[in-house]
Every structure is written in C-alpha cells, then in structure tokens.
A and B are shown apart, each in its own frame.
Chain A
Amino acid sequence: MVVLDIETEDGQREALRRMLTIRAFDTKAADLFSDGELPGFVHLYVGEEAVGVGACSALESDDYITSTHRGHGHCIAKGLDPDLMMAELFGKANGYCNGKGGSMHIADVDAGMLGANGIVGAGPPLATGAALTSHLKGEDTVALAFFGDGAVAQGQVHEAINLAATWNLPAVFLVENNQYGEATPVEKQHNVQNLSETAEAYNIPGFTVDGMDITAVYEAVKEARKRAADGEGPTFIEAETYRYHGHFEGDQQPYRTEEDVAIWKDRDAIESFKRRLVDAGTITEDEFDEMKAEIDQQIEDAVGKAKDAAYPDPSEAYEDMFNAAVPEISDFSSGMRADGGEDR
C-alpha cells in the first residue's frame, strides 16, 4: 500500500486518489440511495474530502480515529477497503460489520478506525479513551476525533476534551465545521465566532484552518500530532468546510439555496489540489483523468460485488451480543418461533 504522506509526490497522488475515491464512493451511494437500493439513512461527505484525507495523511498508520454519522470519508481516508464498505452499505455478510452496522457504524478497529457513530458527540470520549490506552501502555500512537460543528454543543464532547487536556493525553480533536448541524446553521448553535475559541477553556491550543485546503488541514494536524506524541497534550482544530449534499439523502434543504452551495463548490478542494499538482508537474491532466476513470470503475466494481454478495443468514441476528454465551437469546428466539409449548 502506498503510504499517505503528502510531503512526497507519491503521497500527494495517493491523497488525491483518496479524495477522488471518497467523492466517487459517496456520489455513487447517493445514486444508489435515490434508486431505493440502500436501506436506512446515508449521510455523505462530498465536499469535505480535504478534511478527512488531510488529517489522515498527518497520522501514522497505527494511530486511531473516531468518526461520525458522516463517516465514509474518514474510512477511505484511513485506508479502509471500499469493497467491504459498499458491502456494509448493502447489509451484506461480507461487509465490515457483517451487515449489522450499515453506513452509520462502519468500523475496523484493527485498522485504527474506531467506528462511525450514530450518536452525535459520542466519538470524542472514545478518542480520549484510545489516547488513554496509548498513555497507559507507553505506546506512541495518537487518537484523533472527527466530529461536527453540531457536536460541539454536546456536553460529552467538552468532558472528553477536558479529560484529555487535564491528563495530557495524546489526542487531537478535529471539528469539521460544515456550517450546519442538520438544518440549523452554526451561528444558531454556538455563541462563539470560531469554534476553536473553546480550546481556551481547556488551556490547549486551538486553530481554525481552511478545510477546503488539504495542505492547511495536513499542516495543522501534523503539528497537533507532534505535540500529542511529544507528551504535550491535545490540540483543538476547526476545519471550515461544507457538505454539498443534504444532511441526509432525501433532505429537501429548505435552509439554504443553490447559490449558497455554489460559493463553496467554487473553492472545491479536489479541484484546487489537482490544479496545484498539475502546475507542479506531479500529475498531468491525462494522468488525472486516468486516475479518475480507474476510481470510478473501482467503485462500480465495488457495487457489483456488493450486490452479488450474500445477505447474512437470519440466525446471525442472534450472534455477537456478548463474548460469553447467554441462554436468554437462544431460548427467546427459538421459543417465540416454536409451535407448541412444552408445558401443554
């Protein structure tokens, strides 16, 4: 696997590839959802690619991340396999969670991805916990929490940052300020101008960076990671970004106009990064088109494979609750289906 280190030319191409992969994956997910092929909800990362990829390129491969309901981008940025992600979106047995989790719960703990999360604000405490492990075991891993602007209104987010700051843990708190929590604009949720100002309350460094610029995100996280690894505690980073799609697929978006979206699309992170790489001679237009075509094909293939894959056997529904076996689950599930009571 190519290392994601955007200080090298290979790494820059890989970063571009991952951003394109996220966009292709989530654009495809949108189509599939509107065709009624995906169950549940999907929340897409289109527009925010520079944040996930910029951050993950500043991490070491055994570092941890926690994610959100809008997690596909974090997964791909962290190097997860789109085939297995797509299988999970379809609820297939070979998906990352064997079909039990779906879009909102993709996890690969071995790869350091501690889970997308359906509970807004639940990720940062988990990142504090992963940083605590690393502290207790004397490991040199760092934990980074991705969370939304909306999540900054959750008490548990502040408790998590305060713990990490007070215990000087190797954590990075990265807010993806995409300007809305569902339909509510950020200024109706918070009384500060920049969310990074809250860092002051914990006496940790706080920065606001341009989340449409992968290099800006990369540099901020790189520095934060270094502080964390050097035992200097957590950093709070706010990346200003924008989601191009609705909050969830199917959202009518009464809270914004096409023009609002267009302003951000003009500053598209993939487009601007590509331009920089072309200008620097790191990639040619043709190579870019080829890369894009290859990725589109990869995602098409992922969909094909996911559709062909088997659903989990219904009996799997009763597996995985505990490490230990408990009699209740099997007794109840078989008892409810039984034809005749033993007592009769």
Chain B
Amino acid sequence: MSTETSSGTGPDQTKEMTIREAIRLALREELERDDDVFVMGEDVGKFGGVYEVTGDLVEQFGEERVRDTPISEAGFMGAAVGAAATGTRPVVEIMFSDFIGVCSEQIINQMAKNRYMFGGKTEMPVTVRTTEGGGSGAASQHSGTIHTWFAHFPGVMAVAPATPASAKGLLKSAIRSDDPVIVFENKQIYEQKGEVPLDDDFTIPIGTASVEREGEDVTVVATQRMVGESLELAEELAGQTSVEVIDLRSLYPMDTETLVESVKKTGRLVIADESPLSYGTHAEVATRVMENAFYSLDAPIQRVGVADVHIPFSPALEEEVLPHGSDVEAAINRIV
C-alpha cells in the first residue's frame, strides 16, 4: 500500500527543500488550484505563521484567503466547521497543538460527528494544521504531542509527516479530502531537508505507511522526528543489526498491512513515537501487529515514547523525558 501517486501533468522533477518549505508549497499549490480553499489562523498573514510556515502566502492570495484571526480558537475552529459544511475548504492553523484544548468542542462534537449524525448528508472538508513536540524549552503548555487523542477519536483523520515529501503529499491529500484531517507537524524537524516532487498533483494517500529503509532483524515503526533518528540509528547499526524503518505517516486510518508484512519478515517490533505511552499511538500499532502477526513475533514488542509526564522546561529535564534514537537502540538491544 505504500505507493506514492504521481499522476498529474507536471514534470517528474524533484527539488530539495525543508519540511517548512514543502508545507508552504502544498498550501500554495492548493490555494492556486481551488478558489474554495482558504487559510485561517492567528498571525498566518503578514507575520507568516507561528513557525513561519505560511510565510509570504498572504502576498500572493490576499488577506481574505490567508486570514488572520483574533485569539479565538474555539470561534474560528467552529467557523471552519460551519464554512466547510457550506461549500468552502478551510485550512486552519492552531499554533501549538496544546491550544487545541481551547477548541476541542468544535472538533469533537461538531467536526467529527456532524456527517454521521446527519446521516451522511454533509461533508466536512476541514484541514487542521498544528505543531507538536518538545525540544525547544517551551515547557508543558507548548510542547505536547497529542495526536493520539484525535487518532483515537472516531470521525477525525490524523496524519504526521516526517519528511519534506510526505509533508507535501499528506497535506495536499488532507486539503483535497472531503473528510476532516488534522496534520500534526513536529516543530523540531521543520528545517529537515529532502527531495520533494514538484508535480502539483503529487499527493500521498492518507492511510499509507512508507518503508523508509529495508531490514531483516527488527522493524522500527516511527513517527515524525523519530523517523529521522531511527534511520540514523539503522545506518549506525548496519552490518551488526539489520533494521527496517517504517514511517507510519498516517495515524488514522493506519496502514496495518504494511506494518504486519514487515513484522512477519523481521519477527521483532519497536514502536517510536513522542506521545505519552499509556493508551498511546504505540498501543494501537502494537495491537494491530499482535492481532495480525502474533505468531510471527519472536520477542516482546518494545515501546519508545514519553513516560506519562508532561514536557518540563529545564533542558536537563526535557532531555531526560524526550525519546531519542538512543532509546530506540536500547529497545533493539533488549530484543535482538
């Protein structure tokens, strides 16, 4: 299932860019492609967005379509839901995923439920972009990784890019989708570079994982920042342990097939994600693998994440709680 679609008319070219640039490119292309698409959030216009992702978009598309809001997450998230139900395609930026606390009602009881409650008689083409993750000394209210809440919640799709290409491809799929999709962008990897297809119809189907590196001894299923760190580790361990690294990419729906196939081959699984462990994304990956590849498992599944605490401010503490490649290595050592 891990196939990239590249069906459009554009040339088969790629360009090296950062994740930040890839997201901006996706937004630009979709704003150009469809007049119903608009971007809305706090200081997304002239100021260029919280991590300068929207950048100069306002210059090209104007203040109506790259719309600054007051600090009213509940209000504009709800407005996005209402606007989507009536014929537009809002792309909402919530500066930090922690602030989704302020506007969860509109996500949980409106965005996620309306289509079902109305007997399928409404569509909900809302895209929410938000930032996650620790590592910048921003303390507990600006560092959370909360994607499990929404991957868990019926009626919301959730994706989490780890590379520039997937950042572009997933966001474009999200915007084109008639269903609500939340895109969780880890703020530590905005500067990470990679080749990105320039085709303006390049998308990555939501619900597909990607095998980023093939291996024989152990499967590491990772998300966001942990993908890059796991790939580096796999390179270091090459010759010693052969590590297969899968970028989960889509948290819900989840590409169970790709995960299961891999574990059937390697017999061992480490799951690396920055969420707190209890009831986390790890648990869902582990369960699906156990349900479908239990007899292929040669060792207990290992989880690498945050030990059910918030992200503390002090660098000494923050470093302690955040998962890293070294934790993935320890997990591999426990089972290989």
Contacts and interface: CB of A to CB of B under 8 A. Distances in A.
A341 B308 contact: no
B2 interface: no
A91 B313 contact: yes
A96 B47 CA distance: 33
A189 B314 contact: no
A240 B200 CA distance: 49
Q: Which of B68, B71, B142, B327 has the most CB of A within 10 A?
A: B71
Interface in A37-80: 39-41
A99 B46 CA distance: 35
Interface of B: 42-43, 46-47, 68, 70-75, 98-99, 101-102, 136-142, 277-278, 299-300, 302-305, 307-310, 312-321, 323, 327, 330-331, 333-335
A105 B313 contact: yes
Interface string A232-264: 000000000000000000000011000000000
B299 A344 contact: yes
A99 B314 contact: yes
B36 to A, nearest CB: 24
A101 to B, nearest CB: 6
Contact of A39 (B72, B75, B307, B315): B315
Interface string A306-321: 0000011111111001
Chain A, interface size category, equals 35 or more
A121 B70 CA distance: 12
A336 B327 contact: yes
Contact of B71 (A120, A313, A318, A326): A120
Given A41-B138, A184-B42, A190-B70, A99 B330 contact: no
B141 A104 contact: yes
9 contacts: A102-B137, A105-B139, A105-B141, A119-B99, A153-B71, A154-B74, A321-B309, A326-B308, A341-B302
A92 B316 CA distance: 9
B314 A254 contact: no
Given A102-B137, A119-B98, A340 B316 contact: no
A151 B330 CA distance: 45
A236 B195 CA distance: 54
B114 to A, nearest CB: 20
Q: Which of B299, B305, B312, B323 has the most CB of A within 10 A?
A: B312
Contact of B314 (A102, A184, A336, A338): A102
Contacts of A190: 70
Contacts of B304: 336
A323 to B, nearest CB: 15
A274 to B, nearest CB: 34
B72 A154 contact: yes
A251 to B, nearest CB: 9
